[in-house]
Amino acid sequence: MNIRIPDRVIVFDYGEVISVSQSEADRAALVALSGLEPELFWRLYDRHRDDLDQGIALPHEYWTRVAHDAGVEWSPAQLQLLWAADLRSWISVEPGTIELLAALHAGGTRVALLSNAGFDFSDPFRHSPMARYFEAMFVSAELGLIKPDPEIYRVVAERLGIELAQMVFVDNKAVNVDAAVALGVTGHHFTGVAGLRAFLHELAGRAEAGADEQQSA
């Protein structure tokens, strides 16, 4: 079923909205490659992630910083293997979300992507099969900004040629949604496909009702 929401742009987060969470097998593979204790690895993994996502650190710099803080030195091969395992862990997608993207696209609804991600994700995003559903893809590293900085939503709206009130933003992190809503964006905190589907159909229904009212006025 097509989903038509005219005069709005639906902006999707990627991680854990379009993608699924890292699997236990992927997480275990990363820890095994690192040679570190799991608690230490994940603490250091998160420590420099904002710099990676903001484009302050390139992928090899990010992994070198993790190694430095752990007091270890990974070989060039280990660095490449860790990078590949990490990228692979975020590539698996939620089928239901992809179906909603296709339904929005088929209905003529404008759709864009806004993801906190490093430079290394830009090509996989833009050259994947799902890319045809998006009129624009915004990667935080390329913008030099990360959610929930209010400026990132302003920049995205400007580049899409819309007012913030015309943006609908979907993210799995409430803090990112709240920051957008504070600017006048319509937000949806993603907790599952069923909730997102109901939200989008509600927006479509409101748009259709509004169009009917204008025609009858």
Task: Please tell me whether residues 85 and 97 are part of one structural domain.
Answer: no
Task: Please tell me whether residues 38 and 127 are part of one structural domain.
Answer: no
| DSSP letter for each residue of 32-55 | HHHTS-HHHHHHHHHHTHHHHHTT
Task: Please tell me whether residues 67 and 126 are part of one structural domain.
Answer: no
Task: Report pLDDT digits (tens) over 129-175.
Answer: 999 999 999 999 999 999 999 999 999 999 999 999 999 999 999 99
- 2 located within any domain: no
Task: Report pLDDT digits (tens) over 32-57.
Answer: 999 999 999 999 999 999 999 999 99
* Sign of the C-alpha dihedral computed for residues 25, 27, 32 and 37 taken in this order: negative
Which pTM does this prediction carry?
0.94
Q: How far apart are CA 64 and CA 66, in angstroms?
A: 5
Say what angle helices 95-106 and 193-216 make with each other, to 10 degrees. Answer: 20
Task: Please tell me whether residues 120 and 172 are part of one structural domain.
Answer: yes
CA angle 187, 193, 195 (to 5 degrees): 55
Cis geometry, peptide bond prior to residue 148 (ω within 30 degrees of 0): yes
CATH number of the structural domain spanning residue 197: 3.40.50.1000
Query: For the CA atoms of the chain, what is the radius of gyration?
Result: 19
Q: Tokens standing for 93?
A: 């997608």
Task: Please tell me whether residues 78 and 175 are part of one structural domain.
Answer: no
- 1 located within any domain: no
Task: Please tell me whether residues 131 and 210 are part of one structural domain.
Answer: yes
Q: What average pLDDT does the chain have?
A: 96
Task: Report pLDDT digits (tens) over 9-27.
Answer: 999 999 999 999 999 999 9
| DSSP letter for each residue of 59-93 | HHHHHHHHHHHHT----HHHHHHHHHHHHHHTT-B
What H or E segment, with its residue span, contains residue 178? helix 174-181
Task: Please tell me whether residues 16 and 77 are part of one structural domain.
Answer: no
Task: Please tell me whether residues 66 and 136 are part of one structural domain.
Answer: no
- Who wins on pLDDT, 206 or 115? 115
Task: Please tell me whether residues 115 and 181 are part of one structural domain.
Answer: yes
Task: Please tell me whether residues 79 and 65 are part of one structural domain.
Answer: yes
- 4 located within any domain: no
| Position 127 pLDDT exceeds 70 | yes
Containing domain of residue 59, as a range? 24-89
Q: How far apart are CA 147 and CA 29, in angstroms?
A: 28
